[in-house]
Structure 1
Amino acid sequence: MLREEAALRDRTIRSQALHCLAIGKAIEASGIYTHAGLTALLNRLDAETRPE
């Protein structure tokens, strides 16, 4: 997934990983989502994007 996103965004894999980590950190720090809410959101996203 990192490779695909890095290619789409013209980033290295490392910089894409750091970008994703920064987004995750910001979301957690916002206090808008609980751990359970984030887990449910990520599970739903995984299910929607998983190839069949």
Structure 2
Amino acid sequence: MEEFNKAGRHSSDRMIGHGSGVSPFCVIHQSLRSAAGCKFRVGQRPIQIVQL
């Protein structure tokens, strides 16, 4: 979890980590949700996935 929550190029680009990972499951679902979110559009505009 410590490595996942560190700020870095990939975590900043995908808006993951930064303290939001609290279990190994978070690593998987945040990464998958962020990667999938890049492919969807609403009204021809890309959506932005924000991890809470």
Shorter-chain TM range is: 0.3 to 0.5
Larger radius of gyration: 1
- More strand by percentage: 2
- The normalised TM-score by structure 1 is 0.33
- More helix by percentage: 1
Question: RCO greater where, 1 or 2, for CA within 8 Å and sep 6 or more?
Answer: 2
- The normalised TM-score by structure 2 is 0.33
